[in-house]
Amino acid sequence: MRRSPSRRRARKFIAVGSSLQVQPTAGLAGVAADHGARLIIVTAEPTPYDDRANEVMREPIGDALPVLLRTLSSQSNQ
């Protein structure tokens, strides 16, 4: 898989509603984590990348995502 400059520079990688088991897309979480991105996973079931994630949210996406986005927004404004 070619690594684009944008993925190497990502500060955050948010995987929402994915099992992170289907390649090549699942590998993007690993690429981002390898390059220092903060890995955040929002999904109902465990994934192969949970142990590499900075944060794992198991709440329903409709509940978790608004809270996560507000938190990230307030952090970027500081």
58-74: pLDDT as tens digits: 999 999 999 999 998 88
Residues in the chain with pLDDT values less than 70: 1-8
Looking at residue 7, its pLDDT comes to: 47
Span 5-76: which CATH code?
3.40.50.1220
Q: Can you give the pTM of this predicted structure?
A: 0.82
Looking at residue 53, its pLDDT comes to: 96
Looking at residue 47, its pLDDT comes to: 94
Domain ranges of the chain: 5-76
Looking at residue 15, its pLDDT comes to: 94
Q: 44 and 62 in contact (C-beta within 8 Å)?
A: no
Q: Distances from the Cα of 59 to the Cαs of 15, 40, 55, in angstroms?
A: 14, 13, 12
